[in-house]
């Protein structure tokens, strides 16, 4: 596991002594390790090694079953999307919660606890959330619920008040680099800075050629937009706004772009100030071209604005098309990047 060690150790020590809350809220940005921490907590609770180990031993049958999602006392609830049959199914449905509750009422089959992981808890439908509240109000003695979300503010206050908050923090680049080197060899260290504190991003980049290509493609999309005129930009905005029937997926596509591109704008701003602290050093030439044509102040404002819009997309129901159109109007134009990233 990369990062969150202190949090896990603290929780693990308590859990090993039987000091366990019935419900936790694991929050923090995407790819920071919420799911991994949840799995490790489940392993801590259900590991059969003696004496108990914080984080679980990782090798006993119980730990391995949890890794393979086959442990009968651990249930992961996620949003199920079947666009063919039901394009409106965007939420974790109340049926999923009811089914979990029937299970949870029974004694654990193999360990001392039943663990329920809800990922992402902000995906719960209104009815599902109200149903879940009942469980949180009167949890069975053996129940441990882990609610994961990057946006805890979207949960009902009555739910949040019953959760023990566990905010996950961004991980230091050096720690990510160490973790990557252990897992993939020294060469993989170079992906650490790029991940900007999120181990999940670093691991995907180090392990997966497709992830690297996808990232490259997104970078090119940004530079192409910066080098295009308004007609092309508006066409791009409409395309993206109408690209996906599943609005949540569409919002994720927008969120991803604003997040990645905010980093590119940030790199250009840093370059404009003459500092060498790029998150994406392999894009130094594009950053320099942006820095040459766009004012420093404007680049800083752009990076900040993208971060704000990204949060708007995640946390509220913004009008996607309007947001994207405003975004392309705000985006500076750099002729030097025109036609270079087709
Ligand atoms: Zn174990």
* Ligand 1 centroid, distance to 116 Cα (angstroms): 18
Whether omega before 120 lies within 30 degrees of 0, making that bond cis, reads: yes
Rounded distance from Cα 98 to ligand 1 centre (Å): 29
Domain-wise residue ranges, the chain: 5-167, 171-207, 214-337
Count CA within 13 A, CB hemisphere, residue 326. Answer: 12
In this model, does residue 284 exceed pLDDT 70?
A: yes
* CATH number for region 214-337: 1.20.272
Output the CA 333–ligand 1 centroid distance in Å: 56
CA of 57 to the centre of ligand 1 (A): 4
Q: State in Å: Cα 162 to ligand 1 middle.
A: 29
**108 Cα to the center of ligand 1, angstroms:** 17
Residue 100 tokens, joined? 């979990």
Among 62-66, 212-216, 321-325, 338-342, which range has the highest average pLDDT?
62-66
What's the pLDDT band for 311 if we cut at 50, 70, 90? confident
Q: In whole angstroms, what is the distance from residue 278 CA to residue 264 CA?
A: 9
Please give the distance, rounded to the nearest whole angstrom, from the Cα atom of residue 240 to the centre of ligand 1.
45
DSSP 171-191: PPHHHHHHHHHHHH-GGGGGG
Say yes or no: do domains 5-167 and 214-337 share a fold.
no
Residue 58 CA, ligand 1 centroid: distance in Å: 5
Provide the mean pLDDT of the chain. Answer: 91
pLDDT value, residue 166: 93
Give 49 Cα–ligand 1 centroid separation in angstroms: 5
CATH architecture of structural domain 5-167: 3-Layer(aba) Sandwich (3.40)
Where do the H-state alpha helices sit in the chain? Answer: 5-16, 34-46, 61-67, 94-104, 126-137, 157-160, 173-184, 199-207, 209-226, 230-241, 247-272, 284-293, 296-315, 320-330
Q: Are 55 and 36 in contact (CB under 8 A)?
A: no
How many Å lie between the centroid of ligand 1 and the Cα of residue 33?
20
Between the CA of 156 and the centroid of ligand 1 the distance, in Å, is: 35
Tokens of 137: 């109000």
What would the pLDDT profile of 183-224 be if each residue is shown by its tens digit?
Answer: 999 999 988 988 889 999 999 999 999 999 999 999 999 999
Largest alpha-carbon pair distance within the chain? 67
Q: Considering the entire predicted model, what is its pTM? A: 0.83
> If you measure from the C-alpha of residue 60 to the centroid of ligand 1, how many angstroms do you get, rounded to a whole number?
4
For ligand 1, the distance from its centroid to the CA atom of residue 51, given in whole angstroms, is 10
In this prediction, residues 31-41 reach a mean pLDDT of 93
Centre of ligand 1 to C-alpha 59, Å, is 5
Tell me: the pLDDT tens digits for 265-280? Answer: 999 999 998 887 888 8
Q: Ligand 1: distance of its center to the CA of 111 in Å? A: 11
Rounded distance from Cα 47 to ligand 1 centre (Å): 4
pLDDT digits (tens, 9 = 90+) for 58-114: 999 999 999 999 999 999 999 887 656 665 567 899 999 999 999 999 999 999 999
Distance 37 CA to ligand 1 centre (A): 15
Task: Find the range with the poorest average confidence among 50-59, 153-162, 178-187, 287-296.
Answer: 50-59
Expressed in angstroms and rounded, the spacing between residue 68 Cα and the centre of ligand 1 is: 13
């Amino acid at each position: 596991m990369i990062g969150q060690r202190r949090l896990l150790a603290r929780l693990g020590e308590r859990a090993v002594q039987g000091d366990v809350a019935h419900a936790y809220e694991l929050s923090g940005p995407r790819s920071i390790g919420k799911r991994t921490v949840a799995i490790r907590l489940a392993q801590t609770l259900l590991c059969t090694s003696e004496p108990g180990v914080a984080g679980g031993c990782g090798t006993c049958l119980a730990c391995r079953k949890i890794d393979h999602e086959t442990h009968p006392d651990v249930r992961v609830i996620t949003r199920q999307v079947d666009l063919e049959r039901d394009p409106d199914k965007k939420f974790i449905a109340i049926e999923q919660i009811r089914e979990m509750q029937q299970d949870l009422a029974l004694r654990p089959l193999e360990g001392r606890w039943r663990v329920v992981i809800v990922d992402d808890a902000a995906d719960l439908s209104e009815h599902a959330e109200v149903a879940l509240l009942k469980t949180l109000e009167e949890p069975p003695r053996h129940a441990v619920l882990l609610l994961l979300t990057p946006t805890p503010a979207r949960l009902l206050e009555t739910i949040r008040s019953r959760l023990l908050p566990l905010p996950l923090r961004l991980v230091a680049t050096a720690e990510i680099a160490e973790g990557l080197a252990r897992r993939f060899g020294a060469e993989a260290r170079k992906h650490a800075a790029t991940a900007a504190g999120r181990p999940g991003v670093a691991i995907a980049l180090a392990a997966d050629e497709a992830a690297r290509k996808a990232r490259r493609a997104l970078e090119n999309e940004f530079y192409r937009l910066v080098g295009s005129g308004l007609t092309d930009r508006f066409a791009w905005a409409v395309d993206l706004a109408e690209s996906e029937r599943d609005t949540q997926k569409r919002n994720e596509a927008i969120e991803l772009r604003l997040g990645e591109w905010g980093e590119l704008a940030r790199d250009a701003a840093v370059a404009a100030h003459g500092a060498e602290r790029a998150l994406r050093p392999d894009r130094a030439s594009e950053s320099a071209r942006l820095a040459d044509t766009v004012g420093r102040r404007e680049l800083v404002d752009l990076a900040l604005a993208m971060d704000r819009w990204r949060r708007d997309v995640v946390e509220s129901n913004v009008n996607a098309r309007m947001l994207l159109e405003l975004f392309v109007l705000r985006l500076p134009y750099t002729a030097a990047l025109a036609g270079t990233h087709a």
